[in-house]
Amino acid sequence: MTDNVTAVHHTGILTRDLGGLESVYRALGFTLSPRSRHLLSAGPGEPPRPGCTANLCALFGGSYIELLGIVDESAPDPWHTKAMADRYEGFRILNLDTDDAAATHDRLAALGMRPSGVLDLERDVDTADGPRTVLARAVHLDPRTTPEGYIGLAQHLTREYVHQPRYLAHPNGARGIAAVLIVAADDEYDGIARRYADLLGAEWTADGPLSVLEHEDVRLELLRTADVAAVLPGEPAPAPSYLAAMTIRVADVAEAHGVVERGGIPTRDARGGFFVSGRDAYGAGLFFTAG
């Protein structure tokens, strides 16, 4: 295994209303995995215990969207999810995919990024062959150094239990996360841009008002707050810097648009496809494009 960061592992939308979040994303045409309670370790080598969160996921075979809910306020919260929600709920999490969490941790530490240590994650899931335990390892960056959101790198140890074939077909034709759009305040822009360039070993290029960083299967888009109206007109700004939107690749834009509209979700035309406002999608703007 090597420290090889080449894809988006998952994005995460956080809420205290997991039932409502689930209903909206089903209306958007996503197939969701069953609800699963997290078992979290408080630190490296610590035994896992039921945490305060549960999730459902829209799975694409590689990346996925995690619908993350706080379901037990009294349960342990070693990953500080409640504090995250106290600040604001919505699109809060971006994890990139690594082949080796330990090697990634060491590289990030050498870059001065203050990583968390390697954290172990378990959750029980049903499979076609019976109950199984999903195992993963994650490295989080210190959230005091990532004003745009909670950023980490994650390693699948049992990918086949997560991306089960029965959950990969979506009524809206979704195939994956094509891009993540980040809004950065002027005084935080340079630091955010440098951090992702260092994480991926790539440099940003200009694309109209956006700066774009592409590396393997990762596409990140960075937008200054002064340019938000040109790309995200009328969208809420929950913080000076924030995870604003993701682009979803779909098999057929017109079919996806019909599914979303039949689900009762408002849309508007946008760059080669259509857009669903974060106001209607629990804080995550959603671009749908062909791909």
Position 190: which residue type?
D
C-alpha of 277 from chain center: 17
Is residue 244 within 8 A of residue 91, CB to CB? The reply is yes
Strand 49-59 versus strand 64-70 pairing type: antiparallel
Q: What is the pLDDT of residues 124-178, one digit of tens each?
A: 888 989 999 989 999 999 999 999 999 999 999 999 999 999 999 999 999 999 9
Instruction: Count other Cβ atoms within 10 Å, centred on residue 102.
Output: 16
* Regions in the chain scoring below 70 on pLDDT: 1-2, 41-44
Q: Which CATH superfamily is domain 7-167 in?
A: 2,3-Dihydroxybiphenyl 1,2-Dioxygenase, domain 1 (3.10.180.10)
Q: For the sheet containing 242-250, what is the strand order?
A: 205-207, 210-215, 218-224, 174-184, 242-250, 285-290, 273-276, 268-270
User: CATH for 174-290?
Assistant: 3.10.180.10
Residue type, 86: D
Task: For residue range 69-93, list pLDDT tens digits in order.
Answer: 999 999 988 778 999 999 999 999 9
Contact 22, 275 (CB under 8 A): no
**Equal CATH topology for 7-167 and 174-290:** yes
CB 87 within 8 A of CB 74: no
At a CB cut-off of 8 Å and minimum separation 6, what does 148 contact? 182, 183, 184, 188, 192, 239, 241, 242, 243
- Distance of alpha carbon 230 from alpha carbon 223, whole angstroms: 10
Domain residue extents for the chain: 7-167, 174-290
